Structure 1
Amino acid sequence: MRFGYLARVITALALLVLAVFTLKVFFHQPVTVVDPHVVGKQALPQKALLPDFAAISDIREKKRAFFDFIRPGVRAANRDIALNRQFLLDLQHKLKIEENFEISPSSYQRYSELAQYYQHKSNDVNADSIAKLLSRVDIIPEELVMVQAANESGWGTSRFARLGLNFFGQWCFTQGCGLIPQSRNEGANHEVRVFDSVDQSIASYLRNLNTHPAYQHLREIRLELRQNNLEVNPEHLAPGLLNYSERQHDYVIELLQMLRHNKAFL
């Protein structure tokens, strides 16, 4: 009787050890992927376990999986932007109602950091400067971000998404900063940037839209919507991405079609 009990205990412990070992193998991180097209890099550490979207054969399931994967990062990034925007709106309000308003050192530091991050040249805290900075410190609708990520990354299956966590086709111009496109023209020096995380990729993309001269029209559309107390929706902002692709109008039309066809998943 006693021997039978011990045997069962030993068997249970053995099964537990085997289960733990199996889980460690299945969820092993980090994954290091070596790519021959990376200049000046030996390996690219994948800090997030990227799902194998290419292995999902059902189209609807692949779309759902991709959007569910990237949505939390998009929401978190937009939430951070919204908090910084509210800080600026509060500052703007105080400046308007307080005759002798003086900004605190901590608020001025935060304002200066935002101005630098969003490439706003003036650190002066006045009505005009705050208004100009507010035109940059604003969200991009998550539906638009997600369909553009799907478009640029082939639903997360592109080489740049898999190896560089780059879901938006963002370029860089320092040797070794990313992956060399296999179809890059002779004499060109751009690379497709490699990111340490999905969140970093999303934050960089949003900053690009909020600062680069190519997307000034997008920011103007958004500002006009704000001034008229209208919703900043993806369909209104999509035309502002005209310069994101060489295809221009066709690219915008494709994004609008993707927004319409994927409403059930967004």
Structure 2
Amino acid sequence: MRKLLLIFTFSFLFAGLPEYYYKLPLQKQKKEFKRILIPMIEKENQKILQERYLARSIFHKPFYMLDFDSLIVLSKFAKKYKIHNLYNKEEFFKKIDVIPPRLVLAQGAVESAWGKSYFAKKANNLFGQWTYTGRGLVPKNRDANKTHTVRIFKSPQQSLEVYMRNLNRNPAYKKFREVRYKYRKENKKFTAEIAATTLILYSQLREVYVRILQNIIKQFR
């Protein structure tokens, strides 16, 4: 037990972005924030594209021709993305899709104060994700009747992975997925600016949050 506690404490102390980042002037931090996160975003989007390609190759066949292995793959995707109907092709392609990189950068910047928030530095949490398991950090100004904590991640990369999965499966972001799917079907680009307008439920600030996101997105052009 003592050994496990020491391991957890050690990893907790070294959470956050690279140490040099916090010594940079603000404007350089903003540029470096993008430089650090872009490869992470590309990695996660590439994983999602691979899943999408695999699902597409399976749905290319009639259902009566699907083998057991194909059904296992679809079942895993259904569990990961909370897809309720294994045979609903549209639901798979609405949920298994990439996130606009500039949206990710903007939300990361807003939610983590450009990587400098307490939760970013102590819990690798760049996107303000909550948990109700009790295994997180208690927000300082949490209401007395609330039970959520801020989730602790092993790395910023894991925080990014969970954030993307959250956008792709949480019922609160159904509009985000619906609009993205519509744009893809019409062969139009689903931009970060458009995506931001669908995330009114991501923050208690609602419309103000959307405007803040849109202003930050402009900085990443």
* Larger RCO (CA under 8 A, 6+ residues apart): 2
Q: Measure, in 2, the Cα distance between the counterparts of 1:42 and 1:213.
A: 32
User: Does structure 2 retain, via aligned residues, the 8 Å contact 1:44–1:164?
Assistant: no
Matched letter for residue 42 of structure 2: R
SS of the equivalent of 2:200 reads: helix
Matched letter for residue 144 of structure 2: E
1:135 maps to 94
User: Does structure 2 retain, via aligned residues, the 8 Å contact 1:81–1:139?
Assistant: yes
Q: Deviations over 1:199-222 (max 9, x none)?
A: 211111011111111111101110
1:147 maps to 106
Q: Which of 70, 76, 80 is residue 117 of structure 1 equivalent to? A: 80
Q: Which of 178, 183, 187 is residue 141 of structure 2 equivalent to? A: 183
1:162-177 alignment to 2 at 5 Å? 162-175=121-134, 177=135
Q: Measure, in 1, the Cα distance between the counterparts of 2:127 and 2:118.
A: 12
Q: Which of 176, 182, 186 is residue 224 of structure 1 equivalent to? A: 182
Q: Measure, in 2, the Cα distance between the counterparts of 1:84 and 1:141.
A: 17
Which segments of 5 or more consecutive residues in structure 2 lack a partner in the other structure?
1-5
Q: Measure, in 2, the Cα distance between the counterparts of 1:174 and 1:84.
A: 28
What's the RMSD between the two structures over aligned residues?
2.0
Q: Which of 87, 103, 127 is residue 66 of structure 2 equivalent to? A: 103
Matched letter for residue 89 of structure 1: R
Indicate the percent of aligned positions where both proteins have the same amino acid.
31
Q: Measure, in 2, the Cα distance between the counterparts of 1:186 and 1:83.
A: 44
**What's the TM-score once normalised by structure 1's chain length?**
0.75
Q: Deviations over 1:135-170 (max 9, x none)?
A: 101111111101110110000000111110000000
Moved over 6 A (4+): none
* Bigger Rg, which one: 1
SS of the equivalent of 2:145 reads: coil
Following TM superposition, by how much is the alpha carbon of 1:84 offset from its aligned partner in structure 2, in angstroms?
A: 0.7
User: Does structure 2 retain, via aligned residues, the 8 Å contact 1:173–1:190?
Assistant: yes
**What's the TM-score once normalised by structure 2's chain length?**
0.90
2:45 maps to 78
Q: Measure, in 2, the Cα distance between the counterparts of 1:81 and 1:256.
A: 25
Q: 1:130 to 1:174 in 2, by over 3 A?
A: same
Following TM superposition, by how much is the alpha carbon of 1:195 offset from its aligned partner in structure 2, in angstroms?
A: 0.4
Following TM superposition, by how much is the alpha carbon of 1:182 offset from its aligned partner in structure 2, in angstroms?
A: 0.8
Following TM superposition, by how much is the alpha carbon of 1:87 offset from its aligned partner in structure 2, in angstroms?
A: 1.4
Q: Measure, in 1, the Cα distance between the counterparts of 2:122 and 2:10.
A: 7
Instruction: Say how many residue pairs are matched.
Output: 214
